[in-house]
């Protein structure tokens, strides 16, 4: 993809993401109705926490508020 077009695509995508980020996000009804297939056990919670710390916490932060160390480099900022 030519550099000018790539830049244009990135700018357009950023505008779209920013527009949606301005509104409070709500879980779609069909997603809210999905039943968790994983039985809640101490082992499942520990495995989930380990995965979150390894793959998610850097951006989402320790409490999931999007205030992780890597979040500052992402756009849009809230």
- pLDDT tens by residue, 6-56: 556 665 555 445 555 567 889 999 999 999 999 999 999 999 999 999 999
Q: Is residue 74 part of a domain?
A: yes
Q: Is residue 20 part of a domain?
A: no
Tell me if 78 sits within 8 A of 65, measured CB to CB. Answer: no
What pLDDT sits at residue 59?
93
Range of the domain at 41: 37-78
Q: Is residue 42 part of a domain?
A: yes
Q: Is residue 66 part of a domain?
A: yes
Instruction: Convert the pLDDT of each residue in 56-69 to its tens digit.
Output: 999 999 999 889 99
Q: Is residue 11 part of a domain?
A: no
Q: What is the pTM of this model?
A: 0.55
Q: What total number of domains does the chain contain?
A: 1
**Cα(49)–Cα(57) distance, rounded to whole angstroms?**
10
What pLDDT sits at residue 55?
96
């Amino acid at each position: 993809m030519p550099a000018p077009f790539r830049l244009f695509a990135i700018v357009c995508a950023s505008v779209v993401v920013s527009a949606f980020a301005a509104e409070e996000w709500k879980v779609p009804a069909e997603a809210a109705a999905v039943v968790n297939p994983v039985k809640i056990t101490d082992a499942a919670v520990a495995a989930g926490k380990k995965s979150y710390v390894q793959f998610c916490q850097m951006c989402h932060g320790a409490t999931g508020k999007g205030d992780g160390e890597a979040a500052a480099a992402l756009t849009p900022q809230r």
